[in-house]
Structure 1
Amino acid sequence: MELRQLRHFVAVAEDQHFTRAAERLMVSQSGLSASIRALERELQTPLFVRTTRRVTLTEAGRALLGEAQRILAQVRSAHEAVAAVQGVLRGTLSLGTEQCIAGVHVARLLAAFRRRHPDVEIRLRQAGSGALAEEVAAGRLDLAFAYRAEADTDQLRSAFLNREPMTVLCHPDHRLAAAGAVVTPHDLADEVFVDFHPDWGPRRTTDTAFAAAGVRRTVALEVNDVHGLLDLVDENLGIAVVPRHFRHKRTSLTALPLKDTGEAAYETVALLPPPQAASPAARALMSVLETLPRTEGA
């Protein structure tokens, strides 16, 4: 099994198409097909189900994909480590983040990183915390800024960024705004909620808080964008339970403290692979982060 074959296999799996993968890799389609067939012969199993329009992974292909991506990430890290020893940081920094993550101003951090390491290509992806954790553990991301969902594992470790309570946002004409008091999950049991997808950190924190209080709630309006959430609340279509720093993003809304949530809090971390697997670019980014002031969120 050659690294070239693994690169070919991953490209076809990601593009789900031989022609597009061949164009991306700048190889002939016939050569790419021959490489995949040779890999399948060596493994003695089909890796793709081929149709006239697309290709999909077989069960064996799905099993290979994660390992192949991890191997290629480790090879890339090895090349970058050698370059770092020679005094030049090159390669690629693949970073993931949730929107408006607390504890780090991502754009400012990347600008500072680029000034120090102009030869490193930066790739940024926004997603929910669950997906980001999987991407870092699989080696597809160098690191990610996300919500802490689980304890550290052999494939994933975390570095603390920030911890803050949750706050209720509502329209100024809402009955809660008129009361102007601290609220509990029980006070919100009959409300219409605007919230994020369940994979997002703020949603996970809110679900945990309400579960701890023994209160069931229904999310009627679900979004994947911070400003979309604020717009819905601003039109009085529902209330939102969000990290405290969100209150600065739409000052026209009323913010109310939320209590009686047990130990539930919005805690953000940098998700990293084990130290021996961390890329030089990831280590360099964390070094830059330590020199910058921590923020509530951006």
Structure 2
Amino acid sequence: MELRHLQHFVAVAEDQHFTRAAERLLVSQSGLSASIRALERELRAPLFVRTTRRVTLTEAGRALLAEAERILAQVKAAHEAVAAVQGVVRGTLSVGTEQCIAGVHVAGLLAAFRRRHPDVEIRLRQTGSGALGEEVAAGRLDLAFAYRTQADTDQLRCVPLATEPMYVLCHPDHRLTRAAAALVPEDLAGEVFVDFHPDWGPRRATDAAFVEAGVRRTVALEVNDVHSLLDLVGENLGVAVVPRHFRHKREALTALPLKDTGEAAYETVALLPAPDATSPAARALMALLEAGEA
């Protein structure tokens, strides 16, 4: 089994399209198809269901994908480990992050990394914390900055970044602005809520806080970016419960602390593989973070 066959297979699985995968890999479509057929012959199983518009994985293909990603990640780590012994950090640094993560200025950190390691190609992916954890564990990301979703495992470890209390954002004309300096979840019963999709860290922290308090809430306005959330609250269409640092993003809004949420809090972490699987580039990035570069 050749590594290029596995690389070709993973590319087709990710793009679900032979033409797009061939363009990304800079190979001919016929050569890519021949590579996949050779792999299927060797494994004696079809890996894809092919249609005129897309390709999807068979059961055998799904089983191979996880192993292929693991093998390719180990090969990449081996190359980078040898380079690190020679005093060189090179290759690719794949980073994942949520929006507006607390405890790290991602853009500044990546800029500092690039100044020190210009030969490393930086790739960035933004999505929810659950997906980020899965991608780090699968080797598709070197590390990610996310909301703490689980304890350390054999495949994933958490390095604490920051812990923040939650605040309620509302329009200055909203009834809650006449309340005391702090609110409790019971004060928000019956409110219209603006919030992020369920995989985002602030949403998970808010859901946990209301479950802890035994207060039911319904998210009527669901968004996937910070500006849309602030705009909706700014138009008095609902209230939002967000981490403390969000209160500075729109000074015209009223921000009130949310108390009595038990142990529920917004805690951010850096998600990394096990130490022996962490790439030299990821270690270099974490060293910059720990040194206060961002």
TM-score range, shorter chain: over 0.9
CA-to-aligned-CA distance 1:156-188 (integer Å, 9 cap, x gap)? 001000001100000000000122431111110
Q: Retained in 1: the 8 A contact 2:112–2:293? A: no
1:163 aligns with 2:163: yes
Instruction: Report if aligned partners of 1:168, 1:240 keep a CA contact under 8 Å in 2.
Output: yes
Question: Structure 2 vs 1, CA of residues 21 and 217 (structure 1 numbering), >3 Å: closer, same or farther?
Answer: same
User: Partners in 2 of 1:98 and 1:175 — Cα distance?
Assistant: 31
- Confirm or deny: 8 A CA contact 1:168 1:256 kept in the other structure: yes
User: How large is the RMSD of aligned CA atoms in angstroms?
Assistant: 1.1
Range that drifts further, 225-234 or 12-21: 12-21
Cα pair 1:16 1:56 within 8 Å, conserved: yes
Q: Which amino acid aligns with 1:64?
A: L
Contact 2:109/2:293, CA 8 A, preserved across alignment: no
1:11 paired residue number:
11
* TM-score for the superposition, normalised by structure 2: 0.98
Runs of 4+ in 1 over 4 A off after TM superposition: none
The match for 1:132 is: 132
Gaps of 5+ in 2: none
| Correspondence 1:71-86 to 2 at 5 A | 71-86=71-86
Residue in 1 that maps onto 2:93 = 93
Identity in percent = 84
Contact 1:158 1:271 in 2 (8 A): yes
Match of 1:68 in 2: 68
Aligned-partner SS, 1:9: helix
Q: Does 1:149 align with 2:138?
A: no
Does the CA contact (< 8 Å) of 1:130 and 1:199 recur in 2? Answer: yes
Residue 261 (1) aligns with residue 261 (2): yes
Structure 2 residue identity aligned to 1:225: D
For the Cα contact (< 8 Å) 1:109–1:292, is it kept in 2?
no
Shift of 1:293: 6.2
Gaps in structure 1 of 5+ consecutive residues = none
CA distance 1:73–1:192, shift in 2 (3 Å): same
Deviation (angstroms), 1:23: 2.2
Q: TM-score, normalised by structure 1?
A: 0.96
User: Which residue identity lines up with residue 171 of structure 1 in the other structure?
Assistant: H
- Kindly provide the CA deviation profile for residues 47-87 of structure 1, in whole angstroms up to 9, marking residues without a partner as x: 10001121111122122112211211111111111111111
Cα distance in 2 between the residues matched to 1:293 and 1:52: 50
Number of positions where the alignment pairs a residue of Structure 1 with one of Structure 2: 294
In the alignment, which residue of structure 1 is the partner of 2:220?
220
CA distance in 2, matches of 1:88, 1:191: 55
Aligned to 1:48: 48
